[in-house]
Amino acid sequence: MCGRYSLRKPYIAISEHFSVQLDLFEFGPRYNIAPGQQVAVLIREREQLTLVGMKWGLVPFWAKDPKIGNRLINARVETVSEKPAFRTALRTRRCILPADGFYEWNSAAASPRPVHFRFEDDRLFGLAGLWDEWEGPGGALRSCTILTRPANEVVAPVHHRMPVMFTEPEEIEGWLAPGPAPPVSTLELCGRRTRLQAHPASGRVNDPTFEGQDCLIPAPPSGWLF
DNA sequence: CCAGACGTTGTT
DNA sequence: GTCTGG
DNA sequence: CCAGACGTTGTT
DNA sequence: GTCTGG
């Protein structure tokens, strides 16, 4: 699955990589992006690519209680087109979450520690997502969710799910293009040929309020008490 | 008809 | 155990 | 995803 | 909003 990721690159690098036209908001390097937080999201709006801030955890437009978003942080690509919470967004509100790494925990381990997955050249990539807009008493709330798929051979030793991710500009354009979503078979192939690498990360990542580059310091060897 | 759910994860 | 919040 | 809470009363 | 279950 995908419950934590990183976006360490400066805004200018993200803006250039994804050819974003507008400069809407500022954000700093993120080592530990957690559900419920405000995240940077690439959408097609009024014919243009725009980078906007949204809450991670999708609140469907029909929701009565926005707390539903706490549970809708991921959508399985195998079933996303059938689910009431996601199918409308799949047709009309697909998005990309710029990222340069994501964390997975090996729950089979005695004391699970996070592993940071990133590319050999540490390049930016896009997580496939959906977004929605909910009209609440305090105004409109934009929120999003990340699609997941079965793990590829790099991630599988740690965890059996991983985010749907795009590295090629054509893939990203295809996902954001108006009209029906690309077929699932296409999504399953993405990220399979790429040089993704697994790096043991710090147990500090477990705390969703901990930010900073210490997140990427490898965990001490198992059995090390301090 | 109305009421209630609408999701994923991991673990047993 | 299960839900909420980050 | 993990961490942390998990409750009611009356009073300000 | 839309579907399922009672």
Residue A25 Cβ under 7 A from any strand E atom? no
Residue A22 has pLDDT above 70, yes or no: no
Q: Specify if A225 maps to a domain.
A: no
- D2 C1' to A203 CA distance, Å: 11
Distance A180 CA to E1 C1' (A): 19
Instruction: Say if CB A11 and CB A28 are below 8 A apart.
Output: no
A2 assigned to active site: yes
Asked if residue A221 belongs to a domain, the reply is no
Which ipTM score applies to this complex?
A: 0.87
A220 assigned to some structural domain: no
| Residue A172 domain boundaries | 5-206
What percent of chain A has a predicted confidence (pLDDT) above 90? 77
Q: Is residue A173 part of a domain?
A: yes
pLDDT single digits (tens) A110-147: 778 899 999 999 999 999 999 999 999 889 999 999 99
Q: Which three-class secondary structure state does DSSP give residue A117? A: strand
CATH code of residue A182? 3.90.1680.10
Query: Is the CB of residue A85 inside 7 Å of nucleic acid strand D?
Result: no
- The secondary structure of residue A183, as a DSSP letter, is P
pLDDT of residue A205: 96
Q: How many domains does chain A have?
A: 1
Identify the CA nearest to A56 among candidates A121, A146, A154, A136. A146
Q: How far, in Å, is the CA of A94 from the C1' of nucleotide E2?
A: 20
pTM: 0.94
Whether residue A104 lies in the annotated active site: yes
Q: Is residue A222 part of a domain?
A: no
User: Where does the pLDDT of residue A222 fall: very low under 50, low under 70, confident under 90, or very high at 90 and above?
Assistant: very low
Q: How buried is residue A136: exposed, middle or buried, by Cβ count under 10 Å (0-12/13-18/19+)?
A: exposed
Tell whether A117 is covered by a domain: yes
Residues 56-75 of chain A in contact with strand E via CB under 7 angstroms = 61-62, 64
Question: Do residues A130 and A87 make contact, with C-beta atoms less than 8 angstroms apart?
Answer: no
pLDDT reported for residue A197: 96
Q: What does the pLDDT read at residue A108? A: 79
Distance CA A124, CA A167 (A): 8
